[in-house]
A and B are shown apart, each in its own frame.
Chain A
């Protein structure tokens, strides 16, 4: 079945440094990938999404590129801020309009001063 793998459970960084959170997936459908961010005691919110191969998508300083050849959708930011401390989920939908959604296990990002 479909799956999403996030290899890092916890990433700790100092403010101002770059970050990359890994996300790889497996599916037999045309993939629709998402990054959701969940701050402490809040609901997950969409950060960015893509279904277009090799096209960079950006939002709030974060960016990601869907690479179908390597089944990856890594999340990056060039300079993290304290407010970026949160739980980040990569998610896969079974195609545009698909009803099934699979979430990765999440990566907690902790940014220190």
Chain B
């Protein structure tokens, strides 16, 4: 099966903790993204990687840091979570035809 996989599905944590989310794609794409979808369902790009290299880094707080070991993996670490980080984090990979394929998302709840 070829797709975009994300773990965990759901994570509950407390303010100040560190969290990490994983994303893997088996589609053979070179480009991957992290998006944040807030409670109003707004989708905002956070980072874009092409073949392990950071290409797009939108204005996000420094506590967010992406990591890519190879072009199929893109992880996201949040160093010290804040309440406003509660959201769904969507990973996507992009084909040469520019279509983005989204993973199921990781829902983060910060208490």
B is bound to A: yes
Partner-B contacts on A (CB < 8 A)? 32, 34, 36, 38, 42-46, 49, 87, 89, 93, 96-103, 105-106, 108
- The answer to whether B90 and A97 touch across the interface, beta carbons within 8 angstroms, is no
B33 CB to nearest A CB, Å = 7
Contacts of B103 in A (CB 8 A): 43
- The answer to whether B102 and A44 touch across the interface, beta carbons within 8 angstroms, is yes
| Beyond A100-B56, A108-B41, 11 additional pairs, beta carbon < 8 A | A36-B100, A43-B4, A44-B43, A44-B102, A46-B99, A99-B55, A101-B33, A101-B48, A102-B45, A105-B40, A106-B42
Pair count A-B, CB < 8 A:
53
For the residues of B in contact with A, the DSSP-based class is strand
- How many residues of chain B get a CB closer than 8 Å to chain A's CBs? 23
Instruction: Give the nearest-CB partner of B104 in chain A.
Output: A43
Per the bound structure, the CA–CA distance linking A97 and B94 in Å amounts to: 9
Per the bound structure, the CA–CA distance linking A32 and B100 in Å amounts to: 13
Per the bound structure, the CA–CA distance linking A96 and B97 in Å amounts to: 8
Partner of A32, one of B33, B50, B96, B98: B98
Per the bound structure, the CA–CA distance linking A106 and B48 in Å amounts to: 21
- The answer to whether B99 and A87 touch across the interface, beta carbons within 8 angstroms, is no
Instruction: Give the nearest-CB partner of A42 in chain B.
Output: B104
Contacts of A44 in B (CB 8 A): 43, 90, 100, 102
Contacts of A106 in B (CB 8 A): 41-43
Most buried by B among A32, A45, A101: A101
Instruction: Give the nearest-CB partner of B3 in chain A.
Output: A43
Contacts of A49 in B (CB 8 A): 98-99
